[in-house]
Amino acid sequence: MLQRKQRKNRTEVTFVLPVDDPPGPVSVVGDFNDWQPGAHPLTTREDGTRTVTLALPGNQSHSFRYLAAGDYWFDEEQADGHDGRNSRLHT
């Protein structure tokens, strides 16, 4: 799930996943972090979800995917769209 907060010249995007699906560590990887695995790992909240929040420039489009343990790549079902293998996010 994606949660967004509009700020002056940027959008704060929170990437949210259930605590155990998929199991193990997960990071969000995309053009905003040069596709570097582990650059933005999701951490567990008290409510049992895993999240990471990124401040991204406004009025742009980004490609991203999630990367879980065991080299398991997957998409965001609630993304703004998809371009081949990647999820798309519009800020």
CA dist 72 and 90 (Å) reads: 24
- pLDDT band of 61, cuts 50, 70, 90: very high
Cis peptide before 41 (omega within 30 of 0): no
Which residues 6+ apart lie within 8 Å of 47 measured at CB?
A: none
Tell me the whole-structure pTM to 2 decimals.
Answer: 0.92
CATH of the domain at 50: 2.60.40.10
- Full domain range(s) for residue 21: 2-90
Domain count, the chain: 1
Tokens of 34: 């040069």
Q: Residue 20: pLDDT band by 50, 70, 90 thresholds?
A: confident
